[in-house]
Structure 1
Amino acid sequence: MDSDFGIPRELSDLQKHRALYEPEIPPCLQGTTVRVEFGDATTAADASGSHTISRSFPHTYGHPLAHFLRATAQVLAAQIITEHPPFRVGIVFCGRQSPGGHNVIWGLHSALKIHNPKSILLGFLGGTDGLFAQKTLEITDDILSTYKNQGGYDLLGRTKDQIRTTEQVTAALNTCRALKLDGLVIIGGVTSNMDAAQLAEIFAEAKCPTKVVGVPVTLNGDLKNQFVETNVGFDTICKVLIISHMFWSLVMLRNDFYAYCGKTNVDYIDHLTIVGLMGDVGSIGCRLLRQNAMKFLIDDVYRNPGPLQFDGPGSDAKTVTLCVEDQDYMGRIKKLQGYLEKVRNIVKPGCPQDVLKAALSSMASVTEVLSVMSAPSFNSQTLI
């Protein structure tokens, strides 16, 4: 993906509103004094696999769990750390972008500076490619100013999703040694955190002082256990991003747009249906959504959250369906036929596998949408 690489951006009114939010810091992480208690040794979730895991991770498996304590906790065995030397930490985006990535950088930068103003946070530009090539950007308050609480990974960008081959691991090791990093933070999903675990083991074996930390940031909600309630970004995905993604897809595709989310394929939204022809960004539908974005997204879309219930007025309201119609019915029929003809010309024997895969996925989604919309129960819904 393209990256602004820390260039200050012009924010919309909605983005400025989001930027005002101050995330709540857990009591155990507040202040400059760190209180930590070391508990039992780490074990495998499945005891039958502990032997295999311990053989694969002999240097990192079985270390004690670290419990951070709030200031009022009375634990005799707790270690209290009040002096903090300056640290040099690198941070890199891996995997698919997800909400919360920029806030992880913001939070880490704030913590480093609070504990020691001389600490340095280096962001790797262009994901793991930047990590391998030692392309860095020093994170500052000015750089973060227009990225706080904003989605995407465009502050640093990302490219490849893995640190796995011998060449890649060697390049990451050389970078950490050359930059004299005390820590390397890898932001990503399941694959990225698997790579982080393997990298930590290799670094320990090579006696590299850099500590590797994986942060579970993914829209899938599949990185959780008894210690992690949910991964960064999943809550936002449930509430907002699936809806805004539809709108942005509409803007980028600039063609007929039909979107449907039901319990069959998105279990955290009951029903959201968008119907209409929006040929360009200036169309009535897009203009309506853009002009009323804050009210629409905040007040209306969340009115029927399905299994994930939210507090507040309207939490028990009925399903809302948004319908934006265009009067040029036959013109749209002809336009649709034109698109189908283009698909026939592009997707034929000999076309690339990626083209065939994309066509199958898109046509399957369109078929599902049309099947739902053709059902009698769909036409009986209230349109606004």
Structure 2
Amino acid sequence: MPEPSTIRLDKLLDHPAVMDAVADVNLELKERVAYQPPVCTVFKSPFTTLATDTQYQFEIDKEAHRQLSHIIANTVQRVEGCDDAADEVKENYRKARNIGIVFSGGPSPGGHNVIAGLFDAAKKVNPRTRIFGFLMGPDGIIDGDYMELTRERVDQYRNVGGFTMIKTGRTKIDNRKKMDLSRETCKQLELDALVVVGGDDSNTNAAFLAQEMFEDGVQVIGVPKTIDGDIQVRDARGQVLCAMSFGFHTAARAFSQAIANLCTDASSDVKYWHVCKVMGRVASHLALEVALQTHANMTLIGEDLADYVDYARLEKAEKERVVDYTAYGMTLRHLSRVTCDAIMQRAAVGKNYGVLVVPEGVLEFINEIQVFIIKLNTIIGNYNKMHDRDFHSAFPTLNEKLEYLRRLVRGIRKDVSYNVWNARDDELFNDIPEFFQEGLLTERDSHGNFQFSQVKTEKVLLDLVKDYLGILKEKGQYKIGIQDAQFVKTMQKGGLDPERYGPILFENWKQAQYLMIKKTIISRKTLKTALVKAGFLGDDETIPAPIEKIYNQSVPKFKTQTHFYGYDGRGSDPTRFDCIYTYNLGQTVFSLIANGATGQMAAILNLEQDFHSWRPIGIPIAPLMHLEERKGKLELVLEKSIVDVNSPAYRVVKTFRDKWLAATPGEDHYRHPGPIRFAGNSEENRPITLLLNAMGGHLSTPDQ
């Protein structure tokens, strides 16, 4: 046999096919980068103008009125196309500008297209306009670290995920020194406008920057970004102004594809429960969308848990003539029981597997956990305010933190927190697992928020579930159902009469397709006792192999695989929906700037409708602000939007909850959304929650 010829490495590496195979840019990426998103009709006009829309009203916070006086009177502004204008208006519209843009917070798919939309719109009007990207987030503004964005650089990142072009960061411009440094940077660059792309905290920052730089003539425009989907703006009458922040659709699709794959794996290997934690610290929008995309067997929605009422507990309290406040709101223990019930119901029909979706912030909706978080946030915030070093540096180990809390109870530490933490709190806190204590005492993020992504939420729940399933197993209640046909086949193959043994083994013999071993049979010993008692076996005889096989198949082993979906989704290449949405947000930003707006958030109305119905607008940020506790004190912030349990999307999920649990004989109802394809007619053009919620009043009753 001839020896294979050895190819010289340099020739191999120089071969076109090899070079193409290992290149950084593949064909799909080339097609993605070359895609030109369509623009809203108004942007096809030579000019745009802004028209005040008086149908939207806001309830103004007094503190917002005091702190944001320059921009508090802003109104909703519609972007309208204009074929011609007065010479003075044309001149101002077409003038060369210096515009800065910054990404703030975590990456969100589509951010690059905000830059591309702004860049294209600005350069089309005046090629001499300069766009500056601040590097590494708000730190770039504070430190004067920036780069001028060229067409070559912008073209490189069109329709591509991440914030790689200029990077991002989480710094807040929240004190006088940072604000003064930011103002100095804007002056040095002679900026006409600054664009802040970020979430609720970042748009809060944008409002204060607009206020501070109002008299300097620097316009500040915000852009709503977060994969969590918790920026959904409505006016005082509930009219939708911003239905969805960008990046949500892409992240949900990325998570859904991976979770749908786990549904396939679970129903193939039939031995694992896959527990999937998805991002969503304050709101469960992603979990809700994932439920609609995948039909996972069980999806916990935090907002639903917060609204839970235990009517059985209320009835008991009423009979005892007492008030049971614990009946309102889901407890951690009861949540574990609900989860166990679902697992047991599936096991009873032979499905000892499944997929459970859990939002990362689900524990925030559990009463006793929320109390702990509020109290610990206050204690940590008070300590940081009163001392030279922060709480976590002062008490680096868990034991040191716990000792500090005990000293508060004993009154040894006479600081502002001594009356926040009492003996009852200390007792309950010491009853929870050590790893969860550590999680609750973990360092807060830069905004003072509890970092649920750092807590093994799924482990907290699963430990309780496993413990309770163990108890139910000992009681003979948690068993795997045996298909009647399988039982008959196994017995006949072993030479035994199924009709004779069936009534002895099963509590529902001849009553169901899946047979349940009697609750009294919880071990081989009790199995043998039942056979001996029935006269089918002698004391010294062994259990027949077919019967032992059936018994072994009925004994559940609760095996789990845990997964966290967050960073992978926010780094995904955007869906076509997010590409088009963000590109038009960038175009909207320029229209707001060119028409003199400041303190506004760029948005698109009618996202739930076909593209030709989309309408670009500017939303006033200041009227949306309200006081909220942050780091132990009240601060003006933009309110997060949580899942509305009366919304059509939630009601649809609730309606199909039992169907998707599939605790019945037969196939599961898993849905496979497929990968983000970007091209082709089968790619969905908007989030399912957006589509369903747009139906609003078309559903008749709240419990439908």
Q: How does 1:1-384 map to 2 (within 5 A)?
A: 10-40=24-54, 45-46=58-59, 49-71=60-82, 81=90, 83-204=93-214, 207-223=215-231, 224-225=233-234, 226-240=240-254, 243=257, 260=276, 266-270=287-291, 271=294, 353=442, 358=454, 360-361=456-457, 363-364=459-460, 377=663, 381=668
**Residue identity in the other structure for 1:125:** L
Please list the CA deviations of residues 320-358 of structure 1 after superposition, one character each: whole Å capped at 9, or x if unmatched. Answer: x99xxxxxxxxxxxxxxxxxxxxxxx9699999359973
The structure with the larger Rg is 2
**Residue identity in the other structure for 1:175:** T
Partners of 1:40 and 1:124 lie apart in 2 by 35
Partners of 2:117 and 2:285 lie apart in 1 by 36
Gaps spanning 5+ residues in structure 1: where? Answer: 1-8, 248-256, 274-320, 323-345
- RMSD of aligned alpha carbons: 4.3
Post-superposition shift, 1:377? 4.7
Q: Looking at both structures, which has the greater relative contact order when contacts are Cα pairs under 8 Å and sequence separation is at least 6?
A: 2
**Residue identity in the other structure for 1:269:** V
Q: TM-score normalized by structure 1?
A: 0.62
Partners of 2:211 and 2:56 lie apart in 1 by 15
**Residue identity in the other structure for 1:360:** K
Partners of 1:350 and 1:235 lie apart in 2 by 33
CA change 1:69–1:243 in 2 (3 A) is same
The answer to whether the Cα contact below 8 Å between 2:229 and 2:286 also exists between their aligned partners in 1 is no
Post-superposition shift, 1:360? 2.9
CA change 1:30–1:153 in 2 (3 A) is same
CA change 1:380–1:57 in 2 (3 A) is same
Partners of 1:160 and 1:202 lie apart in 2 by 20
The answer to whether the Cα contact below 8 Å between 2:105 and 2:170 also exists between their aligned partners in 1 is yes
Post-superposition shift, 1:68? 1.7
Bigger proportion of residues as helix? 2
SS in structure 2 of the partner of residue 53 of structure 1: helix
SS in structure 1 of the partner of residue 249 of structure 2: helix
Post-superposition shift, 1:90? 0.4
Please list the CA deviations of residues 267-286 of structure 1 after superposition, one character each: whole Å capped at 9, or x if unmatched. Answer: 1123377xxxxxxxxxxxxx
Post-superposition shift, 1:142? 0.9
Please list the CA deviations of residues 159-197 of structure 1 after superposition, one character each: whole Å capped at 9, or x if unmatched. Answer: 224221222212211111111100000000111001101
SS in structure 2 of the partner of residue 227 of structure 1: strand
Post-superposition shift, 1:264? 10
Post-superposition shift, 1:28? 1.3
Identity %: 22
Post-superposition shift, 1:380? 5.7
Partners of 1:264 and 1:192 lie apart in 2 by 20
Post-superposition shift, 1:231? 1.8
Partners of 1:32 and 1:24 lie apart in 2 by 16
Q: TM-score normalized by structure 2?
A: 0.36
Partners of 2:81 and 2:443 lie apart in 1 by 51
Gaps spanning 5+ residues in structure 2: where? Answer: 1-22, 235-239, 262-272, 279-283, 297-353, 356-433, 445-450, 467-557, 563-660, 673-704
Post-superposition shift, 1:17? 3.6
Please list the CA deviations of residues 19-67 of structure 1 after superposition, one character each: whole Å capped at 9, or x if unmatched. Answer: 2432221111224322333454985x22xx4544322221111134432
The answer to whether the Cα contact below 8 Å between 2:100 and 2:193 also exists between their aligned partners in 1 is yes
SS in structure 1 of the partner of residue 287 of structure 2: coil
